[in-house]
Chains A and B, each alone.
Chain A
Amino acid sequence: MDAKDILGLPKNSFPPLDKKSRPPKESHRKPDGISREVYALTGGLAPLMPALDPSQLKKKPPSDEKVAWQWLGITSSARKDNLHLYHWVRVVNGVPPTGDYSFAKYNKSVDITKYTNEEYEKYLTDPGWTKEETDQLFELCERFDLRFIVIADRFPSSRTVEELKERYYSVSRALLLARNPSSVDIASHPLVKEPYNISHDLERKRAMSLVLSQTRQQELRDEEVLAEAKRIAQSRISAKVSQESEMAVASNAGVEVTERTIPGETVSPLPSNAQHPSIPVSSSMSTENASTLASLRILRVYLRTYALEQMLQAASSSAGLRTIKRVEQTLQDLGVNLKPRVPTKSVCAEHLELRKEILTLLNLQKQLQYKEAEGLPFREGSYTETPGTPKHFHHGKQDRAFVPDPSFGGERTGKRDQKRKAPGRLSEAPSSPAQSKRPRKLKASDF
């Protein structure tokens, strides 16, 4: 109020403002029912999902029913022995629940085909198994619901789990086939379609236990070997695009596994693979190109600029951000648009080629730098600035690749030298001879 006086604003503008400010304020007040802190946790807004209305939880069941509880007897179809038990039962309106005991339906068991003696004589005799053993096996199978581990434990003569399984499954299969000689239906029965293969099962379990019992060292070694295999596989695929290379890797991997089963032995097939010739750089680039083209093809229609972008991305994925910036800087220096103004097919192709060449150029420059830096300790001579020499080579080479416009050549070099003179250089070794050792920037005379 006083402020308004001071400002000289009329006083009756206050009430209408008051009204307006109230409705927006309402929404900011927390709803009742939850504490202020809890509400603040949600950011002061209503929760996204409507919460359960707590009053709903206290609802009582429809009160027109009369519910009582009675102590009644039950029989369950799941039991075979006619045992009568008693328990409390919810009785609604005087009517006890009808039907079977509600949990009887969970009493499931496996269907086991039983054979008669004739069938046994005809189809199921086996040199390794007597009839008594087979009978016992089937009885246990039924009793224990095909839990072979338990069955093997209870089996009177010692037989392995796999043997038991094999006997059981082969018997069941033979029975099925015998009883339905010409039926097509059972052809899809799992027993018929995929018979139990005991050797496979044994092998599988052995391999599994080996894997589980691997020591940490072995794990690491295996990882290295796999990585090497992967790399070799990649190089093979890129060198010749064909399926054979993939097959070769798969079989190699298979060979590896069997080799590994003898603990402590190094994997011999792989070192021989490592002697494959290394891939030239160009083929890896062409793979990138090919894969980008393939992905573009899938689009069925695309814009040339989009295709160029994709190719650029693919090419620059292997280069770092700094390198990309240097390439772009070089392009600018050369007076080339970073994005072609008229992106026709040939223009885009030329553009990509140019970028590749600039990359090569930058790599060569770096190479040269390193070589010269290496060479210095070997050199005698009037250089007294050995500690400071690295700075020389950083002269103007990092960011400005070269001077594209010949007329600028002289000026630019002059400028840069002037800048660096103070920090980098020591007194003697005058600039001109020293400069001549450094790779020269492009000047007009060079052309």
Chain B
Amino acid sequence: MSNSSSSKKHGQDQPELSGPTPKSHRAKMGKSEDTDKKNLGKKLKDVEISIPIVYGNIAFWLGKKASEYQSHKWTVYVRGASNEDLGAIVKRAVFQLHSSFNNPTRVVESPPFELSEAGWGEFEIVITLYFHSDVCDKPLNLYHHLKLYPEDENSSMSTKKPVVVEFYDEIVFPDPSEAFLSRVQNHPAVNVPRLPPGVTLPPPIPVEDASKRRKGDTKDHPLSQWFTNFSEADELLQLAAARQQVQAHIAKLRRQISLIDGQHHQHFKSSSDQ
């Protein structure tokens, strides 16, 4: 499940989480406007950095210990999709809770970016991610509806099995700065695509405190047993199969249409089979 992200070219059928762009997709990527302006000054064009993340919540019913206002203990979080440390990219995360909570604006300054609380209600949490200054000066919002109660109303709540709701998404930086790019080019949490030919990056500045960095990942997180493993392989297979079907059908229809066109031209007399 480890995210091998450094510039490899992945085909469609390789079941890896990281998905750097195959050539055909790169061509679509807005190259048309900016190819002539390919200055390597501060930003590299045509290079897009993406960070796969998973965000959501895990909620445990408190069972006997539940009170009227605190029936569940829940944790809302943003983590790297392969549980890598997001701290190199995200400076801090702000979780905006329901106004009925004390200090509803909770700031988490270091990874793992998560927040635990106890309550009884489900509501929308706005997670604002602030990035380091060389990454992006604009924050990004994620919206997550806190889920405490299981989908199936009839299933009994258990204190051992939590309700887990996770979503996969990717943070995309379409025009990363050179500084950012060089800093994270080998970072496990980051997808860096193949660089355009002739472009080289300065080597990354070595991190001073390696041990400090490691703590930010969620690989050994206490709740990690409930994490969902998102693999793009299944989805890609599904899509490829669907596309094949559609393409075959399209070919058929085209044949039929040309057949009919031929028939019309002849002022066809008797009905014929295909």
The interface of chain A, by Cβ under 8 A from chain B, is: 241, 286, 289-290, 293-294, 296-297, 299-305, 307, 330-331, 334-337, 340-347, 349-351, 353-354, 357-358, 360-361, 364-365, 367-368, 371-372, 374-375, 378-383, 402, 404, 433, 436-437, 439-440, 442, 446-447
Contact = CB atoms under 8 A, between A and B. Distances in A.
11 contacts: A290-B32, A293-B29, A302-B171, A302-B172, A307-B172, A331-B242, A335-B242, A367-B257, A371-B261, A404-B245, A439-B256
Contact of B169 (A304, A337, A360): A304
B28 interface: yes
Contact of B236 (A293, A350, A381): A350
Contact of B249 (A305, A361, A379): A361
B230 A294 contact: no
Contact of A361 (B28, B172, B253, B273): B253
A350 B239 contact: yes
Nearest to B22: A346
Contact of A301 (B20, B25, B171, B249): B171
Contacts of B267: 378
A380 B138 contact: no
B187 to A, nearest CB: 17
Nearest to B131: A301
Interface in B211-252: 230-232, 234-236, 238-243, 245-250, 252
Contacts of A331: 242
Nearest to A380: B269
B173 A344 contact: no
Please provide the 10 A-B residue pairs with the shortest distance between their CB atoms, ordered closest to farther: A304-B170, A293-B30, A344-B19, A334-B242, A350-B239, A364-B253, A346-B19, A342-B232, A301-B136, A297-B174
Contact of B25 (A304, A342, A345, A382): A345
Nearest to B10: A346
Interface string B1-22: 0000000001010000111111
Given A289-B28, A303-B169, A378-B264, A350 B230 contact: no
B33 A302 contact: no
Interface in B13-49: 17-22, 25, 28-30, 32-33, 48
B151 to A, nearest CB: 16
B239 A347 contact: yes
Given A305-B169, A334-B242, A379 B25 contact: no
Given A354-B243, A357-B247, A346 B12 contact: yes
Contacts of B249: 361, 402, 442
B260 interface: yes
Contacts of B52: 344
Given A297-B174, A346-B232, A304 B50 contact: yes
B253 A336 contact: no
Given A293-B29, A342-B168, 11 more contacts: A290-B33, A297-B174, A297-B175, A299-B174, A301-B138, A302-B174, A337-B235, A344-B19, A371-B257, A374-B264, A378-B264
A296 to B, nearest CB: 6
A328 B175 CA distance: 33
Contacts of B158: none
A307 B230 CA distance: 19
A178 B122 CA distance: 83
Contacts of B256: 368, 439
Contacts of B50: 304, 344-345
A300 B264 contact: no
B144 to A, nearest CB: 12
Interface in B167-188: 168-175
Interface in B126-162: 131, 136-138, 140, 142
Contacts of A342: 168, 230-232, 234-235
Contacts of A351: 239
B253 A439 contact: yes
B102 interface: no
Contacts of A361: 246, 249-250, 253
Contacts of A379: 268-269, 271
Given A357-B246, A367-B257, A446-B252, A294 B33 contact: yes
Nearest to A293: B30
B264 A364 contact: no
B274 interface: yes
Contact of A303 (B12, B142, B231): B142
B247 A303 contact: no
Contacts of A365: 253
Contacts of A442: 245, 248-249
Contact of A375 (B142, B252, B260): B260
A305 B140 CA distance: 13
Given A241-B32, A378-B268, A303 B239 contact: no
A303 B53 CA distance: 10
Contacts of B200: none
B245 A437 contact: no
A300 B257 contact: no
A402 B230 CA distance: 30
Contacts of B103: none
Contacts of B30: 290, 293-294, 297
A29 to B, nearest CB: 34
A368 B131 contact: no
Contacts of A349: 25, 28
Nearest to A298: B174
A360 B33 CA distance: 27
Given A300-B138, A354-B239, A343 B170 contact: yes
A297 B270 CA distance: 59
Contacts of B18: 344
B106 interface: no
B105 interface: no
A290 B29 CA distance: 7
Among A344, A354, A436, A439, chain B packs the most CB atoms within 10 A around the CB of A344
A433 to B, nearest CB: 8
